[in-house]
Amino acid sequence: MSFVEINLFGVYVAPIAPGIVVAYVIFYLLRRLAARLGLLDWVWHPGLFDLALYLIVLSTLVLGFASLRHV
């Protein structure tokens, strides 16, 4: 699995940087959906839940992009 740096106006950006932004947007939408459905009432520690959910979304995106590059 090889990721190439992104040249953004002469500045090289890590290839995970766009994934971090996309993952945050998806995380934010999922968090709002969970709050609206009342699922957050069942969460013991909201900070840990947020971290775990964000890492799950980010790792899913990274693995998904990596598998698409091999197809």
**pLDDT band at residue 1 using 50, 70 and 90 as cut-offs:** very low
1 lies in a domain? Answer: no
pLDDT tens per residue, range 5-16: 888 898 998 888
Q: Which long-range contacts (CB under 8 A, 24 or more apart) does 25-28 make?
A: 26/57, 26/61, 27/53, 27/54, 27/57
Which residues are bridge partners to 7 per DSSP? 12
Q: Are strands 11-13 and 6-8 parallel, antiparallel or unpaired?
A: antiparallel
12 lies in a domain? Answer: yes
pLDDT tens per residue, range 5-49: 888 898 998 888 889 999 999 999 999 999 999 999 999 999 999
Q: How many domains does the chain have?
A: 1
19 lies in a domain? Answer: yes
Domain span at 28? 6-69
Burial tier of 4 (Cβ tally within 10 Å: 0-12, 13-18, 19+): exposed
31 lies in a domain? Answer: yes
In 1-71, where does DSSP find H-type helix? 17-37, 46-69
**pLDDT band at residue 70 using 50, 70 and 90 as cut-offs:** low
30 lies in a domain? Answer: yes
